Every structure is written in C-alpha cells, then in structure tokens.
C-alpha cells in the first residue's frame, strides 16, 4: 500500500512538471532585451577621470556635452558628445574667492551653461572658466 502511494505520487509529480504545449510563451518574462551603450571618447593625450564611474557628471541642457568632476583634484572635464572628444579640463581652486570644497554634494549645469555646485552650507554658481558668478547664500535666505 505504501509503495503504491509513493509510486502514484512520483508519477503525478513527473506529469505536473511536463511542458504544456497550450501555454503562451509570448509573455513579458520571456522577452528580455538588454542593451549597452558604449561611447569611445578621444581624450587627446589626457586621461579621463572614470574612477567614480561618472558619479558626479551632468549633461548640458542641449545634450551636446557632458561635464564630469574629479573631486579629488577639483577638475571638471568637458566632453563634447558631437565629436566624442575631451574639449578641455577646468581646474578649480581649493582656496580663495573662486574655491570649491574638495567634497561637495553635487552639481548641475544651468540653462545658461553655468555650474550650480552645492554642499552643506555651500551653494554657488560658477561659469565654465571656473570663476564665481554668484553665491546663493541660502543660509541667509532661510533665516
């Protein structure tokens, strides 16, 4: 009796694991498409900073160039996406009126192609010649 029970259980498991030819195979779980976009950029004898995996980078509003920050050296790289080349490196100061903190929270390229850089108690706008355009001084506004 026990043997026939286990035999019936084994047969039912085998039949339940079989392929159903009436089942649809066009579901979204079977159609998985992965695309990877790779861009080759001519650095022109320079080395492009990729250690942070483009963590601090932003596209211009017209999507024609990318700015990538190297926080450790306070260098911003402007990469032209039309001709895929490194246009220039912008070296920011560590001290003085045009200084950036070594570690900042983030940045954004404004519609007039200036760089808005922020951190705790630091909100400044720079032009692409690394000159301070405006100190937003949000601590005074919030008070």
Q: What is the pLDDT of residue 8?
A: 66
Q: How confident is the model at residue 1 (pLDDT cuts 50, 70, 90)?
A: low
Q: How confident is the model at residue 52 (pLDDT cuts 50, 70, 90)?
A: confident
What is the arrangement of strands in the sheet containing 122-126, beginning at the earlier edge strand?
Answer: 106-109, 115-119, 122-126, 132-135
Residue 9 tokens, joined: 């259980």
Helix H segments across the chain?
A: 2-16, 138-142
> How is the chain split into domains, by residue range?
57-142
Work out the number of other CB atoms within 10 angstroms of the CB of residue 48.
15
Residue 28 has pLDDT above 90, yes or no: no
Say what percent of the chain tops pLDDT 70. Answer: 76
In contact, 71 and 81? CB cutoff 8 Å: no
Distance CA(24)–CA(106), nearest Å, equals 48
Residue 142 tokens, joined: 């919030």
**Average pLDDT in the 52-64 region?**
90
**Average pLDDT in the 19-32 region?**
59
Distance CA(114)–CA(100), nearest Å, equals 14
Summarised one tens digit per residue, pLDDT across range 90-115 is 999 999 989 998 888 889 999 999 99
């Amino acid at each position: 009796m026990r043997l026939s029970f286990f035999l019936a259980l084994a047969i039912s498991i085998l039949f339940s694991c079989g392929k159903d030819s009436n089942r649809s195979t066009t579901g979204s779980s079977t159609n998985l498409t992965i695309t990877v976009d790779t861009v080759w950029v001519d650095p022109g004898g320079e080395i492009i900073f990729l250690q942070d995996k483009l963590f601090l980078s932003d596209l211009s509003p017209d999507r024609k160039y990318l700015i990538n920050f190297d926080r450790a050296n306070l260098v911003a790289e402007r990469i032209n996406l039309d001709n895929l080349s490194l246009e220039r490196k912008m070296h920011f100061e560590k001290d003085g009126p045009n200084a950036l903190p070594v570690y900042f929270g983030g940045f954004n390229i404004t519609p007039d192609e200036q760089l808005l850089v922020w951190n705790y108690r630091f909100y400044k706008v720079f032009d692409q010649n690394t000159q301070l355009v405006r100190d937003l001084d949000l601590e005074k506004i919030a008070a």
